[in-house]
Amino acid sequence: MAPSRPRIAAALLILALMAALAARLVPVYLDNLELQRSVEEMAQSAASRTQPDELLRIAVLQRAARLGLPVKADHVHIQRPDGRLRIEVRYVVKIDLPLYTVDLHFYPGAGSR
C-alpha cells in the first residue's frame, strides 16, 4: 500500500522543521566545542601555568568573543589546586525560536595534569 500524499507532506514538513532547528542549534554547539578546545590548550600549556589569572581570563574572553559567545569575565573561573591549573567557563546562550525560547547551558573546562 502506497503512502498517501498528506502523510508524505506531513513527513516533509517535519523534516524541514527539524532541519531549521538544527540550523539554529548546531552552530552554537560547534562554537562551544571550539571554545572547549581552546580552554584545553590553555590549561595544558606550560606557559599558561605561570601566567596571572587575569591574563588567562582575558585570553578566554577574547576567544569567546571571536566565536560570538556571550561569555563575561565572571563566567570564567580559574583555580590552581596543588600547583595545577583548572579553567572553567559557564555561560548560557539564548536561542529564540518561533513560539519558544531555549536557554542552552554550556560548561567547557579543562585542567592541567
pLDDT of 2 reads 65
The 10s digit of each residue's pLDDT in 94-105 is 999 888 899 999
For residue 107, which amino acid is it?
A: Y
Residues 29-39 pLDDT 10s: 999 999 999 99
For cell 595545577, what's the residue?
84
Grid cell of 71 as nine digits? 561569555
Please report where in the chains the cell 548560557 appears, as a residue. Answer: 92
- Predicted confidence at residue 46, as pLDDT, reads 85
Kind of pairing, strands 76-79 and 109-111? unpaired
Delimit the domains of the chain by residue range: 30-111
CB 50 within 8 Å of CB 13? no
The owner of cell 589569572 is 53
Global pTM reads 0.84
Low-confidence ranges of the chain (pLDDT < 50): none
Note the pLDDT of residue 14.
93
